[in-house]
Amino acid sequence: MADKQFFVEWPNGIRTAHQVPSDMGLSLMEALKALDYPIEATCGGMALCATCRLEWLHGDLPEPGDAELDMLDTLPDAGSASRLSCQLRVTDISDGSAFRVYSLNMIEGDKPKVQHG
């Protein structure tokens, strides 16, 4: 399988492109953690904490499952574009997808590795 490309939008609107292998069975949460994004994932990817939350901007992805919907329902500011990255597989998102990492209110020195593809 080919790599998947996706874009993370920063608070200032600039998008950073990343390419990750789509043949490793990674969740989007695991891919983002490997790229040094501030994903806590305190529940380890079980859809119990929402510390891996995203705001989906563009691209196709599967419908959320019951566990994901239950967690999102507990968040007062979750909207229709809110998703948990632990519940999304890299193989299931469309190439060129774009999203915001909810916890991406970082200082300049904490920017993740930039990969161009």
Q: For residue 108, is pLDDT > 70? A: no
Q: Residue 1's pLDDT is what?
A: 55
CATH 3.10.20.30, domain 4-108, yes or no:
yes
What are the tens digits of pLDDT across the range 25-78? 999 999 999 999 999 999 999 999 999 999 999 999 999 999 999 999 999 999
Domain ranges of the chain: 4-108
pLDDT of residue 113 exceeding 50, the answer is no
pLDDT attached to residue 105: 57
Q: Taking a C-beta distance cutoff of 8 angstroms, is the pair 4, 22 a contact?
A: yes
